[in-house]
Structure 1
Amino acid sequence: MLKQIQEVAQFIRAFNTPLPTVGIILGTGLGALVNEVTIEVEIPYETIPHFPVSTVESHSGRLILGTLAGKSVLIMQGRFHYYEGYSMQQVTFPVRVMKWLGIQTLLVSNAAGGLNPAFSVSDLMIINDHISLLLPENPLRGQLPAEFGDRFPDMSDPYSPDLIEKALTIADELALPLQQGVYVSVTGPQLETRSEYRLLRQWGADAVGMSTVPEVITAHQMGMQVFGCSVITDLCIPETLEKASLPKILAAAAVAEPKLTALIKRLVGRL
């Protein structure tokens, strides 16, 4: 895998754009941030050697190189999920490529179901911790190259307290309401039953989704600073549960998208 990572990094460097210092992964319905980017290069995933291809209709499947808020960025407009049939090594492959390009900070976003009764649709939730229910798969499983970092990385602070503090300050400046909470990652692609939602809430989760945690674990192992934000696209309260649908989820994401864009843009400018 190390050789493949090096080949992809070389492929990206060949475009002769400024090397990115910030990596950004955009989740379901949250691709509009690229409209704020001065784009140097757009690379479809299918043209990148060894790269997976996104099969989710709401994920554009492009790698964007450019400038945002004065910083050189690499943006994944669409991610990969375990439920698509990819291994955890494939899901997290782009994060390892980012590190090989010299990226030290990773910003991740996702669409998630709200488990906390205090949340509303289209809220933004800063992720301050997570729970992984993606067992038995794990991106760190097996014998990995020493260059990837500690085999047993400490996960007591997977999300940078410094970046969280910056985001809270920015939210105050923008008068932007923000929630904070714990994100739980499940395999999917089915949504949870009422009883499962109840159990996840009892375990301390505030939002549930099908992504993010593998990328965060991988980035943390490789010594990257991580900031995560969920957009609450539907409410998963067992007593008032309504049937979810992709159009409703995308509509809720669209309402939150300008808020997330403003937050991420200003956060990148302060890195």
Structure 2
Amino acid sequence: MDTRLTQIREAAAYISRRAAITPRVGLILGSGLGVLADELEEAAAIPFAEIPHFPVSTVAGHAGKLVLGTLSGTAVIAMQGRIHYYEGYSMQTVTLPVYVMKALGIETLIVTNACGGMNRAFAPGDLMIITDHLNLTGDNPLIGPNLAEFGPRFPDMSRAYAPELVELAERQAQRLGITVHKGVYCGVSGPSYLTPAELTMLARLGGDAIGMSTVPEVIAARHCGLNVLGISCITDMAIGEELEPLTHEQVVAVAERTRPRFIALLKEIVREV
């Protein structure tokens, strides 16, 4: 048996013993956005470090807990913080939680992140619904033996982000009076921020936003048949010709200011999924 399959099953079994709930929706909460997990009712929180084979988050703004409970009447499992490739983990380790959530019963995965805006129509604090992505990490979580129990060797990515979920997010945002953009997310490995020339290149390739997460999890999610919605919080402007110095603390601070709108939107989306 594939070692990863054993790890997935053992992790899922442990979580099931700790929380008597079968989640329908999975949430991956990015930098500064993990507070949404505190909104869950009848919640059970499990630190990543206590779950067999789970990687541990090492980045500020990522609490490193798995929280199971109900949100807007829907059974959910939320990653309060995520794992990044740049932390030194393999792509397979980064995406292990996605397979564990699938094994626990989720059908839909909502992935969030804090990222830089390359589209000049954006501004810090805006929300962007992801319609597609560019994988510029130089790696892929599906390299190696295929987990045939979860999905095919060559999964289709033509609908990486479910159009019906994009429409749902737009509809709920309009109802709440929240302005949202749509765009293409560029996923890079990090951890260094990009140079002006690199950002100019990615904008010319069609990218609207740039970040260091999300793409690996989405690839894994589509491999195992999950419907995916991605929402980005634009925390800074990453325009090559106008680039200014940036710190992680600035990113987290803007994400935190955006939280009320973000939480309101996610609650309504989860209610309707």
Q: TM-score range by the shorter chain?
A: over 0.9
Cross-structure match for 2:54: 51
Residue 210 of structure 1, CA deviation = 0.4
Cross-structure match for 2:212: 210
Residue 62 of structure 1 aligns with an amino acid whose one-letter code is K
Match of 2:251 among 235, 249, 252: 249
Cross-structure match for 1:240: 242
Does the alignment pair 1:77 with 2:80? yes
Residue 260 of structure 1, CA deviation = 1.1
Match of 2:195 among 171, 193, 196: 193
CA distance in 1, matches of 2:42, 2:110: 18
Match of 1:24 among 27, 36, 39: 27
Residue 242 of structure 1, CA deviation = 1.3
SS of match in other structure, 1:184: strand
Contact 2:185/2:209 (8 A) holds in 1: yes
Does the alignment pair 1:66 with 2:69? yes
TM-score normalized by structure 1?
Answer: 0.98
CA distance in 2, matches of 1:75, 1:265: 13
SS of match in other structure, 2:18: coil
CA distance in 1, matches of 2:95, 2:22: 20
1:118-167 deviations in whole A, cap 9, x for unaligned? 100010000000000111x2111111231121111111110011111111
RMSD across aligned C-alpha pairs, in angstroms?
0.9
Q: Which runs of 4+ in 1 moved over 4 A?
A: none
Query: Larger deviation: 257-266 or 89-98?
Result: 257-266
Residue 34 of structure 1 aligns with an amino acid whose one-letter code is A
Contact 1:17/1:40 (8 A) holds in 2: no
User: Number of residues paired by the alignment?
Assistant: 270
Cross-structure match for 1:38: 41
Residue 188 of structure 2 aligns with an amino acid whose one-letter code is V
1:181-207 deviations in whole A, cap 9, x for unaligned? 000000100000000000000000000
- Unaligned 5+ segments in structure 2 are none
Identity of aligned residues (%): 51
Residue 35 of structure 1, CA deviation = 2.8
Residue 93 of structure 1 aligns with an amino acid whose one-letter code is L
Residue 149 of structure 1 aligns with an amino acid whose one-letter code is G
SS of match in other structure, 2:149: helix
Query: Larger deviation: 66-75 or 14-23?
Result: 14-23
1:26-48 deviations in whole A, cap 9, x for unaligned? 00011111232114211011111
- Unaligned 5+ segments in structure 1 are none
Cross-structure match for 1:258: 260
Residues 220/75 of structure 1: CA separation in 2 closer, same or farther (3 Å cut): same
Cross-structure match for 2:226: 224
Cross-structure match for 2:98: 95
Does the alignment pair 1:115 with 2:126? no
CA distance in 1, matches of 2:75, 2:202: 38
CA distance in 2, matches of 1:10, 1:167: 32
Residue 250 of structure 1, CA deviation = 1.5
